[in-house]
Amino acid sequence: MLFARDVIPFPGGDNSSDTILGGVHFNLTTLEHWNYTLYSNNTVSNGSWCYLTFERWTADLLLENGTWVNGTKCWSPIDPIGVRAGVGIGFSVLFGLSLVLTLVALGRRWQWYWAIWTIATALISLLTVMDVDRYYLPELPIILTSFFWFLMQMGAMAIVWEAVRHWGSWMERQFIDPDPYALREDDTRSQIEFYLPLVYYLFWWLNFFLIVPRSWTAIQHQRYPEQIINDAAPTATSARFKAAAFMLVICWFLTLASLRTSIKYYRPRNRGIINRVIGFIKFTPMRFKILLPLAAAVPAFQALVAWHFDFSPLKVEGNLPAIYAGGYLPSLLIIYVQAIFGFLNPNEDKELQHQRQERTLQLNNEMGIVPKPTWWKRINGEMVNPNESMRDALVRNVREIQGNKPRPTNPDAIPGGDGGVNNQVRDVEMSPLPSPTYRQQQTPSPTIPSPAYNGKSERRRQERAMQAAAGMLFPQSSSEQASEAARRRAELVMDGPPPPPPPPPAVAVVINTPPPPYPDSTTQERRPSMQTTGSAATSTNQPPQRIRSMLDV
């Protein structure tokens, strides 16, 4: 309750230098020395200090140095809670309940984060309203409740914007999930969706900078009617507050433009202006049909209080129905609508998985594929172990390609085997190579070894290396290796150069032994011919001809 601030004389006391304030005697000379003045609202002040002068709150003593003993300053919460504070407590309870619902329905979208921001700022603003009523003269609480009220308004607008924008993102995800190339990345749609959020938050932050970074001291100057008219009202209705409200109006129209863009590109198109308007209303979700009018009320009320101070939350004794109905109720309803539809609407990621399953079933029906039940894989040993390693996954894939079924092996037959899941199959690729000690302990294999190549042919050296790698990756049985070696030798004999011709049988009978099959390009010897000539002894005593490689032929 505000009082008229009129200067009144100090009441008389026992003598000319004594005065009585609230039943306590004070030295009038000391009061006048420190330039204290008595006002009609039962306060005494010198411009720097202000103290109450009525009973129960009056100081016990005033020292000569101007110090008040047990004095109560004018800006103290001594009054009971009023109507404004009582209604504010009720709204704070509703906002607190909405915080619980928001946290339960919390998703991965920014609309929920802005909802938490809005609830937090609303609670601070509503709780400080109690001190607005309890303070004998207005001071810091009216500034705090007004400051956080503006932040709450900004958060409510951001909730609606992010809800609309992420609904468009959800429409886009449903388009590109079945076909990643269904939408272009360089068309008008993508440009609008990229730049529109930047433009929106530009005007949103302009609203913030027009309101917050300024001097708020004049708002608390509402201690008497003249001070309200000269200081508080002009500050609360200044050009900056009016321009800030206009920034939120632009933000609301940008939100509407975002919704129109999403409906245009992700919903069936309509021809003609009238059909487009009908289609816009038809394809707008019910949630936005409720949120957009509520969001429009936010900048509308902010513009109203920027022109009319009587309806403003910045006024201590403002119009309470207008303050709570227009200032707090739209933001509260926006949060509750979001929470309710957050429970009703399915999770987007789960819905995408459901759509993928439906597409898979449709494709299987078109191709005549009947998926096997879960128990089929279980009884056939095809169940995938969720804890299997990457190596086991590769082994399982190779086994499925080769058509092999998993079969248990003796862990003692495998070096380091423990009979576990990782040692079920050792006869396919990706099996670990045995250690040198293990190889020494094993008996020689009856398979035909692949000798190391010592020739000069680089091509043959690469072939031998590839054969060795293939043998380790794709092991074969002994019979398969023997047949493969025989096939390889026959192929080399067929493709390689023919053996050198025998010498002409001119003088003696030449006994030639048939040459062995040409094995490969490794170093080997030719069998000399037995000749009965005059130089037979010489030819038999000479060393046999040695072919070092195929390049010497």
pLDDT the model gives residue 371: 78
Q: Give the mean model confidence (pLDDT) for residues 135-139.
A: 89
pLDDT the model gives residue 22: 84
- Percent of the chain predicted with pLDDT > 90: 34
Cα distance between residue 63 and residue 45, in whole Å? 15
Quick one: which of 492, 487, 173, 132 has its CA closest to 323? 132
**Which residues face 122 on adjacent strands?**
none
pLDDT the model gives residue 20: 87
CA distances from 107 to 24, 43, 163, 258, 504 (A): 63, 54, 12, 21, 96
**Which residues face 547 on adjacent strands?**
524
Residues 488, 518: contact at Cβ < 8 Å?
no
pLDDT at residue 340 greater than cutoff 60: yes
pLDDT at residue 472 greater than cutoff 50: yes
pLDDT the model gives residue 321: 93
Cα distance between residue 240 and residue 235, in whole Å? 9
Each as own residue / partner, the long-range contacts of residues 75-79 (CB below 8 Å, 24 or more positions apart, any chain) are 75/50, 75/135, 75/136, 75/137, 75/138, 75/139, 75/140, 76/52, 76/135, 76/136, 77/131, 77/134, 77/135, 77/136, 78/52, 78/134, 78/136, 79/1, 79/133, 79/134, 79/135, 79/136
At 107, the pLDDT band (50, 70, 90 cuts) reads confident
Residue predicted with more confidence, 368 or 425: 368
Per-residue model confidence as pLDDT tens digits over 197-217: 999 999 999 999 999 998 899
pLDDT the model gives residue 57: 87
pLDDT the model gives residue 541: 56
pLDDT at residue 410 greater than cutoff 80: no
| Tokens, residue 243 | 């321009």
Q: 15: how many CB neighbours lie within 10 A of its CB?
A: 8
pLDDT at residue 448 greater than cutoff 60: no
- Percent of the chain predicted with pLDDT > 70: 74
The phi and psi torsions of 510 (rounded to 5 degrees) equal -100, 125
Lowest model confidence (mean pLDDT) among 131-140, 294-303, 520-529 = 520-529
- Our CA angle for 72, 73, 79, nearest 5°, is 80
- Calculate the CA dihedral of residues 308, 314, 319, 324 and round it to 10 degrees: 110
pLDDT at residue 192 greater than cutoff 50: yes
User: In which residue are the tokens 């019979």 written?
Assistant: 479
Domains and CATH numbers, the chain: 7-69 (no CATH), 83-352 (1.20.1070), 390-441 (no CATH)
Q: Is 91 left (phi over 0), alpha (psi -120 to 50) or beta?
A: alpha
Q: Give the mean model confidence (pLDDT) for residues 487-494.
A: 66
pLDDT the model gives residue 152: 96
Q: Give the mean model confidence (pLDDT) for residues 477-484.
A: 71
SS3 67: coil
- Our CA angle for 307, 311, 313, nearest 5°, is 105
User: In which residue are the tokens 């198109």 written?
Assistant: 269
Quick one: which of 455, 440, 460 has its CA closest to 468? 460
For the entire predicted model, the pTM comes to: 0.67
Per-residue model confidence as pLDDT tens digits over 375-406: 777 776 666 677 778 888 788 777 766 655 55
Cα distance between residue 90 and residue 382, in whole Å? 61
Cα distance between residue 423 and residue 421, in whole Å? 5
Q: Give the mean model confidence (pLDDT) for residues 72-92.
A: 90
Total number of residues shown for the chain: 553
Cα distance between residue 278 and residue 361, in whole Å? 35
- Judging by DSSP bridges, how do beta strands 68-69 and 61-62 pair with one another? antiparallel
The dihedral built from the CA positions of residue 363, 365, 368 and 372, taken in this order, carries a sign that is positive
pLDDT at residue 138 greater than cutoff 50: yes
The phi and psi torsions of 24 (rounded to 5 degrees) equal -120, 135
Q: Output the average pLDDT for the chain.
A: 79
| Tokens, residue 413 | 């037959």
pLDDT the model gives residue 526: 42
pLDDT at residue 430 greater than cutoff 70: no
Per-residue model confidence as pLDDT tens digits over 223-269: 888 889 999 999 999 999 999 999 999 999 999 999 999 998 888 88
At 4, the pLDDT band (50, 70, 90 cuts) reads low
pLDDT the model gives residue 308: 92
Per-residue model confidence as pLDDT tens digits over 148-182: 999 999 999 999 999 999 999 998 888 888 888 88
